Amino acid sequence: MSNISSRKVSHIGPLDASIFILGDAPGDDENLQQIPFVGRTGEYLNYLLSSVGIDRDSCRLGNVVNYQPRGNDFKLLHGSPQLQEGRVELLTYLREHTPKIIIPMGTEALRALSLGDSIWKWRGSVLRYGSSLVIPTLHPSDAFHDGQVPPIIEFDLRRAKRVLEHGYNTPVHYFDTNLEFSRLVDLQSKVRGAKFISADIESIKGTTHILCIGFATSKSDAYCIRNDYPLGQGTDPAFRAAVQSILDAANSITFHNGLFDTEVLDLNGIHVDLKKYDFDTMYAQRVIAPELPIGLDFCTSIYTDEPYYKDEGKENSTRFRDTLWEYNCKDCIVTYEIREKQQEIFDADELFRNTFKYQMSLIPVARHISGSGMLPDNERINELRTHIESKLENFRTLLYGINGAYFLTSSPKQVIEFLHKKLGLPTRSNRENKVTTNEDALVSLVHYAQKEMDLRKTEKSKREWFFKLSAIKLLLKVRGYEKLLSSYLSITPSPDGRLRSSYKISGTETGRWSASNYVDGSGFNAQTLPREEIEVE
């Protein structure tokens, strides 16, 4: 059986179309009808195009590869003559015809244009391919297994329609990435005259060491102040005084996830008046669209015309320090513009406005809980650790005895070997159809083994399934104790000996708070503390 179909699904639509929609490879219906974007996926695309006012018949449609891979697995096309043929046809078309807008749907379509390798990063951005504008989006087929996808694709298509009709201007920036202290008075004056400013810090991950802080006074003007002291030597007093003067001069301050920024600033002796910190774009996004992502990268793609840039701030990027200052300024200007757009929504909707106001009122509470932490009973913790380590050793001995050899319970590959080759149990898959050994998968196998045991008629057969059931439960027990030791009985405290967590007041779709390690890398997620009793002999 061939891995690649022999039926060619050619591009369709006017050669001089203004919009070219590009997928990855044909699916079952496309292969059968030999027409791109038909069947359930095509019908959904038609609905989306109609919703935003784009006429499908006026578009050119096709795929990177014109032949369906077995099981729709694009990896089977890598290195194939069909992939080479498809790319040549695609690039020839784009060279001989110049659509105004290209809409690559999915990572493989984006990659074929050499514009990126992650559709989730670049979707919604306005990019350039020759003289064509490119607006990547997700593939419509993704909508059938991810509820976040439909509104995102529709938004990206609306952007494509708007750019087609009105054009696109690359955002213009006015960044001062090395603000001289002599110019501080000018910035203070601008800040006092601004209705609001946006602010953002860059710090070394897992520490409270601030590298720089940025301020924006408009959606194009931003300033970066650097802390020249190296890690381990604290904060430059001149930097601290300059930043404090700007924060004090502000009428209103906007952050994106400002609970983190304000906590780190406070630990560096720089204090933000929480009454002035009256807008947070991350919390506003959770109120406006709780089912959608709340990261700054996503909000940027929805509310601004700034292309994706977040990789510029990664510490392993080329010339990290040289690009960090500009990256910091970009964070500030997009946060400024996002607030403007979100404020328009709140001004038009009283329910959204009041819900957001309530969320913001919880910030002092969250800051207080984070800063207070809890004092651990180290004597009791050591007693529990000794007891758990002893039990874990016994359970591991039993588990390795069943397997016939040592294996890592945290290794998916080794656990798959144990469950499916040693015990002969069926596999469990996640939403991406990949075999998984997470807790849900193991619990599912417990129910499966229990059911199989109950169905058996002979004692021998029952004993076999009881053995398998016990082995799965033992694996769960070992993993549970390992998690208990690593996450809750080996916690790094803050320098004052207290255990702390950082909180997000709207960290989940339902509005429930979420928590993580403290801003300095110590502590833990206090909201996931196990509640089960542990008997100590």
pLDDT one-digit tens code per residue, 458-468: 999 999 999 99
Q: What is the pLDDT of residue 146?
A: 87
pLDDT at 237 over 60: yes
CA gap 232, 189 in Å, rounded: 33
Q: What is the mean pLDDT of residues 3-13?
A: 94
Q: What is the pLDDT of residue 318?
A: 46
Q: What is the mean pLDDT of residues 55-68?
A: 96
Q: What is the pLDDT of residue 206?
A: 87
CA gap 357, 355 in Å, rounded: 5
Q: Do the Cβ atoms of 481 and 490 come closer than 8 Å?
A: no
Q: What is the pLDDT confidence band of residue 323, given thresholds at 50, 70 and 90? A: confident
| Percentage, residues of the chain above pLDDT 90 | 83
Which residues are bridge partners to 221 per DSSP?
174
Q: Do the Cβ atoms of 127 and 168 come closer than 8 Å?
A: no
Q: Which domains are assigned to the chain?
A: 19-166 (3.40.470.10), 174-372 (3.30.420.10), 378-490 (1.20.1060.10)
pLDDT at 345 over 80: yes
Q: What is the pLDDT of residue 352?
A: 95
CA gap 296, 278 in Å, rounded: 18
CA distances from 365 to 251, 274, 372, 503 (A): 22, 11, 11, 10
Q: Which of 22, 296, 286, 274 has its CA nearest to residue 134? A: 22
Write out pLDDT tens, residues 103-138. Answer: 999 999 999 999 999 999 999 999 999 999 999 999
Q: What is the pLDDT of residue 508?
A: 81
Q: Do the Cβ atoms of 514 and 484 come closer than 8 Å?
A: no
Q: What is the pLDDT of residue 509?
A: 79
Q: What is the mean pLDDT of residues 264-284?
A: 97
Mean pLDDT in the chain? 92
Q: What is the mean pLDDT of residues 55-66?
A: 96
- Total count of residues recorded for the chain: 537
Q: What is the pLDDT confidence band of residue 431, given thresholds at 50, 70 and 90? A: low
CA gap 202, 470 in Å, rounded: 50
pLDDT at 288 over 90: yes
Q: Do the Cβ atoms of 191 and 246 come closer than 8 Å?
A: yes
Write out pLDDT tens, residues 140-166. Answer: 999 998 889 999 999 999 999 999 999
Structure token pair of residue 420: 């499916």
Continuous H helices in 349-377: 350-361, 363-372
Q: Which of 429, 488, 453 has its CA nearest to residue 145? A: 429
Write out pLDDT tens, residues 477-492. Answer: 999 999 999 889 989 9
For residue 504, the SS3 value is strand
Write out pLDDT tens, residues 381-401. Answer: 999 999 999 999 999 999 999
User: Scanning the structure block, which residue is given the tokens 């910190």?
Assistant: 277
Q: What is the pLDDT confidence band of residue 274, given thresholds at 50, 70 and 90? A: very high
Write out pLDDT tens, residues 21-48. Answer: 999 999 999 999 999 999 999 999 999 9
Position with higher pLDDT, 206 vs 281: 281
pLDDT at 513 over 70: yes
Q: What is the mean pLDDT of residues 200-229?
A: 94
Q: What is the mean pLDDT of residues 232-259?
A: 94
Q: Do the Cβ atoms of 19 and 160 come closer than 8 Å?
A: yes
Which sign, positive or negative, has the C-alpha torsion 164, 165, 169, 170?
A: negative
Q: What is the pLDDT confidence band of residue 312, given thresholds at 50, 70 and 90? A: confident
Lowest pLDDT segment from 369-373, 387-391, 397-401, 533-537 = 533-537
Q: How many CA atoms lie less than 13 Å away from 493 in the CB half-sphere? A: 14
pLDDT at 471 over 90: yes
Q: What is the mean pLDDT of residues 163-184?
A: 91
Q: What is the pLDDT of residue 91?
A: 95
Number of Cβ atoms within 10 Å of the Cβ of 319 = 8
